Amino acid sequence: MDINNRAAIVTGGARRVGKAIALALAGAGARVFIHYNSSAGPAEETLDEIEAAGGTGAIGAVDLGNPELAPQLIDMATDAVGEVSILVNSASGFATDSLDDVSIEGWRRSHDLTLVSPVFLTQAFAAALGDGADGAVVNVTDVRTMTPYQEHFSYVIAKGGVDAFTRAAALALAPRIRVNAVALGVILPPPGEDAAYVEALAEQLPLQRVGGTDPVAAAALHLIRNDFITGEIIRLDGGGHLV
Ligand SMILES: NC(=O)c1ccc[n+]([C@@H]2O[C@H](COP(=O)([O-])OP(=O)(O)OC[C@H]3O[C@@H](n4cnc5c(N)ncnc54)[C@H](OP(=O)(O)O)[C@@H]3O)[C@@H](O)[C@H]2O)c1
């Protein structure tokens, strides 16, 4: 797929990982709809950066904690940037809970934001794509679905659902729409933690460094561009799965 002149949505595109993917898509010529929830200012700044570099885009807020609102995002983006052929599901929660203390409400909250909204966004995206048009979805998941965190229990299980959803949707939507994922390891400090936190984790990795967002954006663009890849989940973990 040639990204130039395509319209794309990046959920959680105002900050951090989502922002890096939004900027990379815009740099490749896409009109990017930057979705946000609470980060209105950062969303404006991300759009300013895109426009300063000669790109185009738009911003819009939807609370993806309520999956019933997810289809509205496709409509908003289509109105703003035209028929959407690229969807990046990056928005997520990162709840702290365990099997001991997770509540039904907390479990549902994690799943609604991290798994259910991406599913129904993808459903609405596929339904809106015109006859004969092709599309690409990239989900952002977590390498820890294979070696689960104990302290982010509902989150990691929701991300495990994203892994399965990636493969199921790739089959369901082929050949018109390809669905892939990037699975992240030590990329950025989680909210509330500093650089030292991830640097300590990175020391244990074969590649001995923190990933940062550039490799994530590069992998997302690769999955969008390469027309013979679907149902794939690329790990960006500095080799962490090997140790
Ligand atoms: N950072 C890492 O090292 C790492 C590692 C493994 C996996 N990941 C995955 O990579 C993705 C991006 O990571 P990140 O660290 O950039 O995430 P983050 O800083 O936790 O940001 C999450 C994004 O989700 C959005 N969001 C939160 N609640 C929302 C809601 N109710 N409705 C709509 N959007 C909502 C936020 O938007 P607002 O700011 O506008 O509220 C924010 O942009 C996530 O899927 C994460 O699980 C990241």
Our answer on whether the CB atom of 96 is closer than 6 Å to any ligand 1 atom is: no
Region 64-81: mean pLDDT is 98
Number of domains in the chain: 1
Query: Is 234 within 8 Å of 184 (Cβ atoms)?
Result: no
pLDDT tens figures, 171-229: 999 999 999 999 999 999 988 899 999 999 999 999 999 999 999 999 999 999 999 99
* 203 found inside a domain: no
* 60 found inside a domain: yes
As a whole number of angstroms, the distance between CA 128 and CA 74 comes to 8
Protein residue with least CA distance to atom 24, ligand 1: 91
pTM of structure:
0.98
Domain span holding position 121? 7-183+212-227
Atom from ligand 1 closest to the CA of residue 65: 31
Our answer on whether the CB atom of 192 is closer than 6 Å to any ligand 1 atom is: no
pLDDT on residue 191: 84
Question: How much distance in Å is there from the Cα of 86 to the middle of ligand 1?
Answer: 18
pLDDT tens figures, 127-137: 999 999 999 99
Our answer on whether the CB atom of 64 is closer than 6 Å to any ligand 1 atom is: yes
| CATH number, domain containing residue 81 | 3.40.50.720
Residue 52 has pLDDT above 90, yes or no: yes
Contacts of 207 by beta carbon, 8 Å cutoff, 6+ apart: 238, 239
Query: Is 18 within 8 Å of 33 (Cβ atoms)?
Result: no
* 128 found inside a domain: yes
Provide, rounded to the nearest whole percent, the portion of the chain with pLDDT above 70: 100
